[in-house]
Structure 1
Amino acid sequence: MNITITSASHEALNLQLKYPREFSGLKQLEERYSHSTATWGNLYINELWFDGACVFQSTIEANKPCRLSMQCDNSCWLMNFLLDGEVITSHGNKSNIMLKAGQYNSLYCSELNIEAGIKQTTRIFSVCLTRRFIKHLFWKSPVFNDGDLANESKTIFVTENQPITQQLKAIISEINKAAQPAYIRRIYLEGKILELLSLQLKNSLLEPVEQPRPATNNDLQKLQAVKQLLEQNIKTPHSLNELAKKSGLNDFKLKKGFKETYGHTVFGYLAELRMQKAQSLLQSGLTVSEVADTVGYKNAHHFTVAFKKRFNLRPSEVGNKN
C-alpha cells in the first residue's frame, strides 16, 4: 500500500508513504515520523500501524494558503477528525466540502484521491482501515456483501460532517497517550479504533434501516379480527396467547403486525379503548367507581392514575367540567 501526498508543483512537496500489504509488519506495531518542508510551510506526520489499520497524526504549519493532494492505491476506509484549522476538500464528484475544527467525516473508496485546500495551521487525526479489515467486521452484513461497500468502484461518504463529541475526543486522546508494551498496546489500539468506528456508525449513511413490511391480506384479516376481539372485550380481555390462537397468528406476527398496522401494541390499543370509553361514560354521569368497573379496572385508584396520565385530568373532574 502506498500513500502519496503532494502540493502544487511550484510549492515543491512530494511525500511518499510506503507500507507493507494490508499494513502488516514484522513487529506487532510499526511507527514512523515524517517531516517535509515547502515554501508555504511544514508538514509533520506521525504514523502508527498494525495489520489492517494505520493511525495518522498530521500537523500542517501553513504560513500561506496551499493545496495538498492525497492518493492511496488500495481500497480503504478513512476517518478524518479535524482538531484545529479548516480544510476544504474535493473527492470524486464531491467538491468544496468544508471540514471545520471540531468536526469529522469518514469515507470508503477503492482508490483514494483527495484534494485539500488549507489556509492556516491545521491538525488532523486520521485512521485508515484496509478493505480486508472492514470486510472481516461486516462479513455477514448486507452493507458489505450486497450493499454499497460491495461495489469497489464507488466512493461512499459513510459519515458526513459531524461534530466530534466528548466521547470521541476521549478515545482519540487515549490513542495518543497509549504507552503500554507493544504486545498490549496493539490490542488496546485496535479496541479503541473499533470504538471510534462503532460510535460514528450510529449516525452513518450506511446504518441499515429496517423497513416495515406490510401485512399480507390474509394476515391483515386476522389482525382485524384481533382488533374486534379487543373492542368487544375491554372489561375482560383475552391474553396474548388466546388472541394468537383465536386469530391463527403466531406470537411474533401478532405483536409486530398489530403495531405496524394500528400504531399501538396490542395492550396499548386496549388501554386507549378503555380510556376513550371511560371518558364517554363519565360524561354521561356514571360515578368513578362504576366507570372503573365497566372498563375493567378492579381498583378505582389504579383507574384514576391511568386516566389522569392519559388526559391530565382526574376522572372526578370530568363531570364538573360539564
Structure 2
Amino acid sequence: MSPISCHSSAAPAMKKIFSVSEFIAFGERYGIDYRFPALPQYTQSSPVLHGDIEEIALPGGICITRSDVHVLQPYETTSRHSSPLYMLVVLEGNVALAVNEQTFLLSAGMAFCSQLSEQQTIRAHHGADSKLRTLSLGMYPDGGWRERLPVSLADEWERSAASARVWQVPEFLLSGLRYAQQPGPHAASRQLMLEGTMLQLLGYALNLCQPATQKRGLPVTGEYQRLELIRRLLEQTPEKAYTLNELARRAAMSPSSLRCKFRHTYGCTVFDYLRDCRLARARRYLMEGYSVQQAAWMSGYQHATNFATAFRRRYGCSPGELRDASLTASRHCA
C-alpha cells in the first residue's frame, strides 16, 4: 500500500476500512504525503480502501508489507523518507509509479525496486474501484539491514541500485510468493517463506543489473558466449519464428544440449524465455499507445486470441485493460 510502513514483528492481517485519518497518520509516521483527488472536501472518516494489510518487521530494519485491498477512493502518494531499498511486487491489479521524471506501470507478475532519497522520490497513483494484491520490502537507512544480508549481496545492492528498475518476476518466485500467502502455513513459517522469497527476488534483480559476463559467476567460455548469442537473439527479435533445431545450429550444439544448458544458465526453457520476451515487447507497445492487434503482430503473435490469453495469464489483465490503464496513468503521473 505504501513505502516502508512496518510497526510490529508479525502483526495479524486486518480486514477493515481504512479512512483518510489513518492515511494521514501513516504519512506522518512513515514520511509519505497522501492526496485524495476525488475528495476535495474530505472528512477524517472518509473511507479510502477496504481489505487486509499485514506488516512484518524483521531484525535489521527490514520490513515486508502484504496488502490485499479494494480501493474505494483514488489516492496518490509521494515518498519523503530515504531508504537504501524499496521493492514492490504486484500480484494482482495495476500500480502507476513515477520516479522523478520517469513513469512506470506495473501489472500482475511485475516487480519494481529503487533507492529513495531527497533526490529520488516515488509518486504513485491508485485508481478507484480497483483490486490490488501487492508485497513490498523496505529497508531503513540506519545500516542495520546490512547485517541481515550476505555481505556480497549488500555490497552489490549499494553499487547497483541507484536507478529505478522494473522487471518480470520469474514464475518459480511468483509461485513461492503465492504459496507463502496462503492461510494454511503457520505464521512463523509463512514469515520465513516470505522473507526468503523476497530476498531471492532481490538476488534475481541484482543478477539482471550485472553485465552479462558477470552473471551467475560463469566464466566467459565459448559455450557461454554462444548461449548469450541465443538469449540476445530472442530478446532483440522475439517477433521472428524460431525452431529449436535452428537455434541449436546457431549455438553449435545439439537441440538437447541447448535445451538443457539454456535452462541451467538462465533458469527457464528457451521457449519460455521467448514467450516472456514477446509479452514484454507487446506490453511496451501497448503502453506506447499501439492497438492490441498491432502489439500482438509486432511481437510475433499471429492470432490476437492466443496473444490475449497468454497476456492475461502473465500479467493478470487483458491487453486492452493494460492499454487503458497506461493512458490513465500517463495523465495522472505527468
Bigger proportion of residues as strand:
1
TM-score of the superposition, structure 1-length normalised?
0.46
Q: Which has the higher contact order (CA 8 A, sep 6+)?
A: 2
Bigger proportion of residues as helix:
2
TM-score of the superposition, structure 2-length normalised?
0.44
User: Is the radius of gyration larger for structure 1 or structure 2?
Assistant: 1
